Structure 1
Amino acid sequence: MFDDVQENLSKLREKIENEDRIKSPVRLSKGDIVEMELDENDGITLDGQYETRRKYIVIIGVTSKGDIYGAYLINSKINFIKNNDIMKNYQYILLKVDYPELLKYDSYLDCSELFPINKKKIIARKAKRRGALLEKDLNNVVKITKSSEFLSKEQKRKFGL
């Protein structure tokens, strides 16, 4: 009987996980929060003990063809390389109280570096949509992005910013 309960719980857990998965065709919007595996090829730094990291990203823009998304990473703390007076201006705080289902503690959206993520990778890596930024946060992040000196005019134009 215990084995039956365990098996049923396992199936239920799998069903819940699959419901959140992003499937083809991918339709994400500005401000959507996505959880997915990222590696060094995606532009993140790994500390040697991991080949990949499960990270939250926020969609900031989409190319005119809709096939590549520009995304920012959510980090639990500011990367030590970016923990200086200039770079701190591009670390937008997301409060746990505003995202209780998602964040374990106040976290930072790194608005200094836009990562391109294509639709195929989102599907292949079994990414999951986990919510969206609150309107106030999205508006502030878009303002930071538009005024950013770290993003080229080409990057901003490419992703409709």
Structure 2
Amino acid sequence: MSASPEHNPTACRASRHTRVQHLVTADESSLPELEALLATLPLCSTGRVFIEVPDESWIGRVAAPARMTVTWLDRSRRTGAAGTGRACAPGQALARAVSAWAGEMLGHEDDSTRVMLLGGYLGTAEIVDDLTERRGVAPASIHTPERFGLATAR
């Protein structure tokens, strides 16, 4: 996804320029991977970045393309499953946020959203299941860490 002639500053400002929407997730264990990924996206990229962290001390600045919204999810300020009284488990806030976003933003016939999931295994697996089973996203369009084996399991 490196810059190409079609993604130079002049082309990206053109009203007819095709912009692919991105959905990117990360957690505290994948912040370096997230920064490296965001640095490779064209400046005209649009979409959403969700980052789940244990508490607000992890929240910082992330360099993302200007048309991408970055949302930090502080687990310490969230609860677990409704009615359980439990704390928010790792990956849970991320899965809920992505599910809500996908319900509003995905599902169009011409949707070519690029999905890159960098968080921990449990949240990533739940997100993959939600996107493929409930939202109809093609498994091939979802990129997860190879070590999870999620792409081959579908």
Q: Considering the TM-score relative to the shorter chain, is it more than 0.5?
A: no
Greater relative contact order (Cα < 8 A, sep 6+)? 1
Bigger Rg, which one = 1
Shorter-chain TM band:
under 0.3
